[in-house]
Amino acid sequence: MSKATLPRRLRLVAVLGTVSATVLTALAVTTTANAADDARAATTFEDNFDGPAGAAVDGAKWVTETGDNVSNHERQYYTNSTSNAALDGRGNLVITARRENPANYQCWYGTCEYTSARLNTSGRFTQTYGHYEARLRMSRGQGMWPAFWMLGNDIGSAGWPQCGEIDIMENVGFEPSQVHGTIHGPGYSGSGGIGAGYSVGGAFADDFHTFAVDWSPDRIVWSVDGNVYQTRTPADLNGNQWVFDKPFFLILNLAVGGYWPGDPDGGTPFPNTLVVDYVRVTDTPEH
């Protein structure tokens, strides 16, 4: 029996209609998936550092610490001055280390030689698990020690390292093309911290890069510019306690000197800056 056949023009319309329906279905599925992703990953903290040049950071989001740091033998005094931490009017926070002592600050080694800034979200924002990232342009030079990191919110009662520490990004000036991601806790702290490094072809100070961790109950994943380079789980701790199961707060700072980076030398430029484009946290890990 012969099969009924549509005229060529009607067949073309029918085919196009089928293709259009397929495309629309695909778009609908993609849109639904994206909406589901957005619903799963809610932004819980964000600072894009918008504001006039010279303005201080948002005090509702950040605490500006003051004092020196004898535990690491750092050389700077952290101030709450906009000379050391201020918006640049172009959507960035600039943390500036200076070779100066305008107020006769006293450090563990005597009269302080440098000033800088250290900001944290303690009492403003804490979170357990999620995706944490910042886009930064690094400082440059021997003795500089920029960091984006987190501490357990119970540091006041538990102390360090029992509170836990997650170093999302650290750089020491004598390694301009490498950053480090590390965890510290009881039995694996200080030089015994557990971590890895990530390198690029040039210096991190040459451009902005995005540094992130994805923190889940049983693992922490580090990435640079979306490239995963390290995963840590309780199995990596040699039987020591996994303390990454409670709220942590964020820290941004630019240290000068210390046990790890060593002191600045004659080639270290001052003022020296850590530029932060944004800090963003969501409630859902991406990896």
Pick the closest to residue 137 from 83, 54, 208, 46 (CA basis).
208
Surface-to-core class of residue 118, CB atoms within 10 Å of its CB (0-12 exposed, 13-18 middle, 19+ buried):
buried
Residue 277, token pair as written in the block? 């484009």
E strands, the chain, are 43-47, 63-64, 76-78, 85-87, 93-97, 106-107, 110-111, 114-116, 118-120, 130-137, 144-152, 165-170, 178-184, 194-199, 208-216, 219-224, 227-232, 248-256, 272-282
Instruction: Identify the active-site residue in 100, 165, 175, 286.
Output: 165
Distance of CA 67 to the CA centre of its chain: 23
Active site (annotated) includes residue 165: yes
Instruction: Identify the active-site residue in 113, 133, 170, 175.
Output: 170
Per 3-state DSSP, what percentage of the chain is helix, strand, and coil (rounded to 5)? 15, 40, 45
Pick the closest to residue 185 from 129, 115, 236, 255 (CA basis).
236
Active site (annotated) includes residue 46: no
* 72 neighbors 102 (Cβ within 8 angstroms): no
Neighbour-count burial for 65-98, b at 16+ CB within 10 Å, e otherwise:
beebbeeebbbbbbbebbebbbbbeeebbbbbbb
Residues with a catalytic annotation lie at 165, 170
